[in-house]
Structure 1
Amino acid sequence: MRYTRYSKNSYILQLILDLVFIIILFFHYLKIQYHHLGIHVVSFNGLLDAHYKVLILFLMSWYFISLKTHLYEIKRNTGIGLILKNNLYQIVIFSIIAFAVSGIKKDDLFSNRVTLFFLITLFLFTFLTRAVLFLFLKIYRSLGGNYRRVIFVDENKNTHSFIKFLSKRKDYGYINCGNFLSNVQDDIKKNIYEFDLIKLKYFILEEEIQIIFFSLNGKLPHDVHDELVILAQKLHIEIRFIPSTVYDSFYSLTLEYYDTFPILLFKKFPLDDSWNQILKRIFDILFSLFVIVFILSWLYPLISVAILLDSGKPVLYLQKRVGFGGKIFHCYKFRTMKNSKDNDIKATVKGDSRITKLGGILRKSSLDEMPQFFNVLKGNMSVVGPRPHMVVQDNYYNDHLLKYSLRHYVKPGITGLAQVKGFRGEINSKEDMQKRIIADVYYVRKWSFLLDIIIILGTVFKTVGGDKKAI
């Protein structure tokens, strides 16, 4: 199969390039280290005899670490962000070994400074080669290379959108060879066939199909699912499933065995892991302290005076919001509205008469959210996470939107993925909130420290450029 050949070649090529570069860097920085020690003439054989054991350790360590970090796995749906994350993990883990070995042999191997330069150079090279390969594969697939022949069986409300997406994104490298449906009219379009398991089998063999995309909860009988899985296994081809809704939870299941008895259970979310919780909390404390000490220390008095002159007291507005685990907390904001009984139960709308003149400016620039860094320091919010909603809103959408409650599995944030994606501002329909929940659910399921950094950077750019959807 094309995919297997290309993936193996890509893996071997990347590995060889990295190992060769590590060898070159190793001897280059050894010469620099010896030069610092006042030893100017050292032959290659002399360096090799003195340090070949360390070199072998470095090469073997790099390889085995890469198996854990998935450094050389560039899938069709892999993004540049994931490549960067895997590369960072690889270098961080490898650096532990590099510094440890250098420390043991500090007299004639690398100093801490040389080790640091060695690791930085290695990171830049390995990331750039992976980024170049990533872009090359995208372009190559767009031109028709490294493709996979696929078919679609059955249809649900997401099938056509997914087919349309793949037809536009040629860089994924999928060729649609046919759609097999339960009921096909006489005036059929090209590549649309009536589903028949026997005919489908021969079609797969004749057309050298490599992947079956099967639409769940479609129009075909339920027993087709099992028959299709068995057929795919017999023909040794992949079968993938298109969910009928983005909220389908079947893909969140994992398999455990009690002796030989299989049991399915939901996968844990990344922030269920205690180490991830500690990492996120440490970052929250450090980041919020930095903002409070270096920004809010002078910004808070300025905005406070401006609010007092514009509309009087109070400066802060404490609103009840729903946080981690569904618990209610007081969310701090600079007051941007006139005092009203509706402020805790009525959501803000465009042109809201309750918003003060200064309040409109604070909202547009998101400066009204700045006191929430005190919430972060207290621990009832995070720098990044789903935005907390009013209690009334939360109760309503929890009853009317599937998977809404998943956003309560992490701490609410000052900014979040939904805001960076542009899903903020006035809520005019159920769909407006649904878009936010889709982004929030993705964040809960796919959290990583790198994703938090990307969201923070995206928020900064939006704040500086101005967010038109802010109200």
Structure 2
Amino acid sequence: MKNKTGRYSVYIRPIQIAFDLLIINLLVLICMRSAMNNIGYHSIVSVFWLIISYYTGYYEVYRYTKEVEIFGKLLKQFFFTSLITFAYAGYMYKQVNTQEVGWYIFSSFVLVALLKYSIYIFLKKYRLLYGGNFRNVVIVGNGKSAEELEHFFNNNLDYGYHLIQIFNLKTNKKEELEACKNFVVAHKIDEIYASLHSLSNNEIDDLIHFADNNLKTIKFLPDSKNTFLRNLAVEYYDYLPIISLRTIPLDVAVNKRLKRIFDIVFSLVVILGILSWITPIIAILIRLESKGPVIFKQKRNGLNYEEFYCYKFRSMHLNPYADLEQVQKNDPRITKIGKILRKTSIDELPQFLNVLLGVMSVVGPRPHMVSHTEIYAKSVDKFMVRHFIQPGITGLAQINGFRGEVETETDIINRVKYDIFYLENWTLLLDIKIVFTTILNTIKGEKKAY
């Protein structure tokens, strides 16, 4: 018998809401029997749970939602729920056992999180093993984006997309588009992915009209991977819609402050906990092997393309090419102690001083030396976009294999791609994930750490 295409998905969210409400209400009986076991609190926590979830998008979890995004939604939901709980307790009771309330919030968070992730993982396994809860899709058009989407659908079956047909529009476009429409209706296709690279404005309008009138979801692929369109923002001037190229979360004041607090706390921990005692040891080892300063400083471009001095432990012999040539594998300029420093990334530790001074961040696009920045600005499309935010000690590009020497043009193009994705999709949880991944990669050892 042929599997259904996820028609019971509509019941998943109501079931999860019911179980969440059951958990947070039952735990009141278990954890807070002496204080808040009354109909008033049960009613208030249930109503506010639903209101908060609506405004935070707590239940807006889709097959393409990442695990870290789910965790972020959990944190938001329980932050506001905790505020309501403590506010109610403080208003209704003169003396409240904060240990009871804290245990209630913690146990609720753990159980609700287990439920949410269990459903998420179960659906992934269900799609992968049994072919259920899937969407039938077609791709219309050709180009780099269409090829990459085809590869994604074929290699990520747990997302629940079945690629049924590709209409590449390379022969007779008009006939293929008509055949596509007939195919979509006849084979009960759920979603159409159309490449803007292959379609005219009239053809796009025609496909939208067809999808709307046949209750099909239509999504569009950008003209090229190099357009980097990730977060188009629609604003309204009176009733006129205006589309901005991108939104940058770190332009929002509260996000900027949050990231700065994280930077200050993390850099102080590293400076006081590691740099304070390791610097004298490194200084002695560096000076024993070669003459010159312990700290190497180099001009680099940061936020808004402004120049600043980036600090590192000196890992090379003094040479006139330090500001002009990137370090290469087996570079004769690198000292013996320098090889160890670079391999373990200890040479980067003084950059936490840059972070504390506010010219760098713990996470962000890696800054390049000024001479290379000028070259890349002219030769690499969208390179300058990286300078909309502060540079970082580590970044999304670095944990994805694009750190160190730029050996080919593909290296710098991919680095820019990841940097732009980061600045358009920043969250504090993404920063934390990048930091932990960087630490793990350093412990395991990286191929390009030289």
* TM-score, normalised via structure 1 length: 0.90
Counterpart position of 1:204: 184
Letter in structure 2 aligned against 1:111: N
Question: Aligned equivalents of 1:195 and 1:118: distance in 2?
Answer: 63
Alignment of 1:326-365 (within 5 A): 326-365=305-344
Q: Which has the greater radius of gyration? A: 1
Q: Structure 2: how far apart are the matches of 1:381 and 1:232? A: 47
Matched residue, 1:302: 281
Q: Does 1:444 align with 2:423?
A: yes
Alignment partners' CA distance in 1, 2:414 and 2:230: 20
1:29 and 2:16 correspond: no
Equivalent position of 2:16 in the other structure: 14
Compared with structure 1, are the counterparts of its residues 158 and 250 closer, same or farther at alpha carbon in structure 2 (3 Å cutoff)? closer
Whether the aligned pair in 2 keeps the contact of 1:180 and 1:195 (CA below 8 Å) is: no
Alignment match, 2:43:
56
- Aligned to 1:336, the other structure's residue is in SS state coil
> Does structure 1 retain, via aligned residues, the 8 Å contact 2:49–2:81?
yes
Q: Give 1:223 shift.
A: 2.7
Matches within 5 A, 1:1-400: 5-31=7-33, 33=34, 51-107=38-94, 110-142=96-128, 143-184=130-171, 195-218=175-198, 220-250=199-229, 252-400=231-379
Q: Report deviation, 1:5.
A: 4.2
- Corresponding position of 1:43: none
SS class of match (1:252): coil
Structure 1 residue 246: Cα displacement = 2.4
SS at match of 2:322: helix
8 Å CA contact retained: 1:181, 1:195: no
Q: Which has the higher contact order (CA 8 A, sep 6+)?
A: 2
Q: Secondary structure at the match of 2:309?
A: strand
SS in 2 for 1:341: coil
- Which ranges of structure 1 fall in alignment gaps of 5 or more residues? 35-46, 186-192
* d(CA) in 2 for partners of 1:198, 1:282: 56
The separation in 1 between residues aligned to 2:139 and 2:267, in whole angstroms, is 49
Structure 2 unaligned residues grouped into runs of 5+: none
Asked if structure 2 preserves the Cα contact closer than 8 Å seen for 1:184 and 1:194, the reply is no
* Residue identity matched to 2:117: A
RMSD of Structure 2 on Structure 1 (CA): 1.9
Moved more, 268-277 or 200-209: 200-209
Q: 1:3 and 1:452, CA in 2 relative to 1: closer, same or farther beyond 3 A?
A: farther
| Contact 1:159/1:215 (<8 A) preserved | yes
Closer, same or farther: CA 100–237 of 1 in aligned 2, 3 Å = same
SS in 2 for 1:158: helix
Distance of aligned partners of 1:18 and 1:3 in 2 relative to their CA distance in 1, 3 Å threshold: farther
- Any idea what the Cα deviations from partners look like across 1:311-350, whole Å, max 9, x if unmatched? 1221011100110111000000000111111100111111
Report if the CA contact (8 A) 1:150-1:175 is conserved: yes
**What secondary structure sits across from 1:263 in the alignment?**
strand
Distance 1:263 1:348 in 2: 45
Listed one character per residue, the Cα deviations across residues 407-445 of structure 1 (whole Å, up to 9, x for unaligned) are: 111111111111111211221110011121111111101
Choose 358-367 or 267-276, whichever is displaced more. Answer: 267-276
Q: Name the SS for the 1:244 alignment partner.
A: coil
Report the equivalent of 1:39: none
- Which runs of structure 2 are paired with 1:450-461 in the superposition (5 Å)? 450-461=429-440
Q: Which residue does 1:42 correspond to in 2?
A: none
How far does residue 251 in structure 1 lie from its aligned partner after superposition? 5.0
Percent identity, please: 38
Q: 1:181–1:194: 8 Å Cα contact kept in structure 2?
A: no
